[in-house]
Chain A
Amino acid sequence: GENVEQHPSTLSVQEGDSAVIKCTYSDSASNYFPWYKQELGKRPQLIIDIRSNVGEKKDQRIAVTLNKTAKHFSLHITETQPEDSAVYFCAAPLSGSARQLTFGSGTQLTVLP
């Protein structure tokens, strides 16, 4: 069925290093790809999103890249800081469905001081 696969499930990096989280989707008609960050005990919140008419979008230390041909998109965090430690979820819409977003299973990112 249509789904969103996210890897890795856990990721540990040293402070200052970069982190990359990847997601693949199955529906070629998907056109909107958001990333949500969930800090411990908090609600998920949108941090960045990209639409299918662009290949990359940046916002300070975070960026998202999209490869529509391969049907995958990635979150890049540079110069990681302890406050980046959280669970990150990717998501994509299901074509022809009113359900809007299907979420990946999440990546627990730990930034080690």
Chain B
Amino acid sequence: EAQVTQNPRYLITVTGKKLTVTCSQNMNHEYMSWYRQDPGLGLRQIYYSMNVEVTDKGDVPEGYKVSRKEKRNFPLILESPSPNQTSLYFCASSSRTLNTGELFFGEGSRLTVL
């Protein structure tokens, strides 16, 4: 089954404790991206990756890091989480070669930073 898998789905942590949210897709997609969703603000892009070893900032990259060492994985790293990073996070992927434009989203990771 084609899917984007995120882990963990839910996490409560404390300020300053480094955490990683993993994202994996099995569709051989070149493009992967991270979004955060906050009430009234829609989906805002954090970072994206066009392919392996190619990453770039989105609209709200501050406080986040990413890496793309393998095509299927695109982890989101919060080196020193702060309460303003409490949010719902979505990973997404799409195929650039097919040019359909459709983004496939993971199920989301709800993060609370105390």
Contact = CB atoms under 8 A, between A and B. Distances in A.
Interface of A: 6, 9, 32, 34, 36, 42-46, 49, 89, 93, 98-106
Interface string B83-109: 000000010001000000111011110
Contacts of B35: 103
A71 to B, nearest CB: 18
Chain B contact residues, majority secondary structure: strand
Contacts of A101: 101, 103
Contact of B105 (A6, A44, A93, A102): A44
A106 B42 contact: yes
A46 B41 CA distance: 19
B40 A103 contact: no
Interface in B42-61: 42-45, 48, 50, 56, 58-59
A35 to B, nearest CB: 11
